[in-house]
Amino acid sequence: MSKITFEVCVDTIQGAIDAVNNGADRIELCDALGIGGTTPSAGLMQRAAKLGKPIYAMIRPRGGDFIFNFEDMDVMMHDIDTCRRYGMAGIVIGITHENGALDVPKLEKLINHAEGLGVTLHRAFDVTPDTSEALEQAIELGIERILTSGQRETALEGALKIKSVIDQADGRISIMPCSKINPPNVEALFKIFSVIEIHSSCRTLVGSPYTENAPSMAPGDDFSRHITDPKKVKALSDYLSSLA
């Protein structure tokens, strides 16, 4: 079998560099992964585009739900223009109605505006009340892939739902599992279903020197942050390579 495409989501340029240097095949570029990811800056896009791997940029103007009004849409359209300007290979989007169903007209508008770029439907899919309907809508829209944890917190917990979506898709669209993906989990997942690509953040929480050097100026845990862990990226990449 050919190597499964390994996508790593990052929110810093160092994270992108570490992901690419340790085996990532594609990057999902975001800001603020701590709130699920928002649109990265133009500077981050410009720099990441030089890394020699396909970069898909998150198009999400804020955290929280995936219900966006027409002012938000205007922002997202301009952000898509920025993606094109700085050489992004694609975009990652998701918009729903208040009941969680995909907002097809708004998604279609973004997709049409992004003509020539690839499109991933993000985990807005996981809040839809009817994944069967959402899957068919995504296929009709011409979306390349759906990112999903099977409507559960982790891919392992949602594995049976992921399998049902894969079975229904029947090769018409790629289903890309995500959330707490690591070698032991992937091994367990691959006993349940087969996929051509997976997604992981490979993150590790690190503290800040502030807490050691000036504890009185660093109350609580405000300066800790997650980083893309090169060891986790390499471990997962090596595991996937071993399956090929």
pLDDT at position 1: 64
Contact 195, 166 (CB under 8 A): yes
pLDDT at position 214: 61
Beta bridge partners of 119: 91
Average pLDDT across each block of 10 residues of the chain; the chain has 244 residues. List them in order.
91 98 98 95 98 98 97 98 98 98 98 98 98 98 98 97 98 97 93 97 87 60 86 97 90
Cβ neighbours of residue 71 closer than 8 Å, sequence gap 6 or more? none
In the chain, the DSSP E strands lie at: 5-10, 26-29, 55-58, 90-93, 118-121, 145-148, 174-177, 197-200, 203-206, 225-228
Contact 39, 55 (CB under 8 A): no
pLDDT at position 224: 83
> In angstroms, rounded to a whole number, what is the distance separating the alpha carbons of residues 197 and 133?
22
Quickly count: other Cβ atoms within 10 Å of residue 35's Cβ.
Answer: 12
- Kindly write down the DSSP assignment for every residue of 120-140, as one continuous string: EE-GGGGG-S-HHHHHHHHHH
Closest CA to 106 of 68, 142, 58, 134: 68
pLDDT at position 208: 79
- Kindly write down the DSSP assignment for every residue of 197-209, as one continuous string: EEEE--EEEE--T
Closest CA to 198 of 176, 229, 180: 176
Write the pLDDT tens digit of every residue in 174-222: 999 999 999 999 999 999 999 999 999 999 998 878 776 765 555 556 7
pLDDT at position 43: 98
Structural domains of the chain, ranges and CATH numbers in brackets: 5-202+230-243 (3.20.20.380)
